[in-house]
Amino acid sequence: MKEEEVIILSKQCNFHAVKASSLKQEASGREYWRIIDADNNSMVLCYLEPSRGDHSNFIAISEELIKNNISCSKIVHHNEVLGVTIQNDLGDGDLLSVLDEDNKFELLKSSLRMLSEIQNSKIDNINRFTNEELVEQMNLFKDIFCSDFLNVNVDSSIDNLITTTSNSLFEHPWVNCHFDFERRNLILDNKNELTVIDFQDMRIGPIGIDLAGILVDHYHEVDLRATKDLLKFYSKQVKLDCSENDFFEFLRWGTIQRNLRILGTLSNLYLTKNRTFRLKDLSMILFNLIQMIPENHASKEYLINAISPKLTIRVSEI
């Protein structure tokens, strides 16, 4: 959308914006805009074309999180017909922006503390992922990322990796799963409180998917030593009868599922919508995927030797 269109939408929702600036656009099609009125009050407008979905999950989950005393983005206005919510403005302090070497460990511990609170909360009316859904999401890697984007037909090691991942996730604890619990979706607000956003896709799912979101970031190489220290902290928050190695395996297979899915999702976004803004992240996502695959699994060598070079060439051509 253009700024003028957003301003018109805001006025139809009883907020008389005079300025609007784009914040981010998601793979889901949601657009986020900061809107500012003549008195310099600011809110965040989220727009989703009504034919592509609605905001009902976001609103319902927001109410549930608030009941559980979890700091989250709050809706002040909703217009279902227009496809708009207006939310309080939490500022620009997402963890991707504010994390540095001095505060990183403490902020990630705070994130894991919040994650454990979300996982342990009673949240009504959210669905459970099926194994078929998790496999279908991973198949985006071979069908879209490899076949359509890289023009590569994958070997059997990838099918084996997907099957092994699915079987592993099925055996892990299943909890409330934000499904995109990453640093872009955690914000330090103007009170310096950690706040969670973009939780509309929450389901019941394997414990490791959200661990992967916060500990195996898409924008930096995974630090396995620091990650294991953070997993120790997390294990004390969730109080499961599991070993340190168990928690690492939860993270490992959650990362594999998440990164296979997102490589497929982002390449599909480019192929179908010509959106190039996330192509620069593909190499790091693939690198971290490779790092987390067990050393003795044949897919690891295949991804290093066959897929990674192809990706480097493909991205350089765009």
Mean per-residue pLDDT, 204-220: 97
Angle subtended at Cα 182 by Cα 109 and Cα 29, rounded to the nearest 5 degrees: 160
79 & 112 share domain? no
Q: What is the pLDDT of residues 17-33, one digit of tens each?
A: 999 999 987 878 899 99
CA–centroid distance for 306 within its chain? 27
Mean per-residue pLDDT, 176-195: 94
Structural domain count, the chain: 2
pLDDT-derived band at 92, boundaries 50, 70, 90 = very high
What string of DSSP letters covers 151-215? -----HHHHHHHHHHHHHHHHS-EEEE-S--SGGGEEE-TTS-EEE---TT-EEEEHHHHHHHHH
pLDDT-derived band at 247, boundaries 50, 70, 90 = very high
131 & 234 share domain? yes
Evaluate whether 313 touches 279 at the Cβ level (below 8 Å). no
**Domain end among 68, 88, 108:** 88
Q: State the residue range of the domain holding 270.
A: 95-317
Burial class, 238, CB count within 10 angstroms (exposed 0-12 / middle 13-18 / buried 19+): middle
Q: What is the pTM of this model?
A: 0.95
69 & 133 share domain? no
Burial class, 250, CB count within 10 angstroms (exposed 0-12 / middle 13-18 / buried 19+): buried
As given in the structure block, the two tokens for residue 264 are 């497929």
Q: What is the pLDDT of residues 248-258, one digit of tens each?
A: 999 999 999 99
Looking at residue 189, what is its pLDDT?
87
131 & 270 share domain? yes
pLDDT-derived band at 239, boundaries 50, 70, 90 = confident
300 & 175 share domain? yes
82 & 122 share domain? no
Q: In angstroms, rounded to a whole number, what is the distance separating the alpha carbons of residues 286 and 267?
A: 12
**Domain end among 55, 88, 121:** 88
Looking at residue 154, what is its pLDDT?
93
- For the chain, percent of residues with pLDDT exceeding 70: 100
Looking at residue 140, what is its pLDDT?
98
pLDDT-derived band at 267, boundaries 50, 70, 90 = very high
Evaluate whether 186 touches 111 at the Cβ level (below 8 Å). yes
Compute the CA torsion angle 171, 173, 174, 177 (nearest 10 deg).
-120
152 & 52 share domain? no
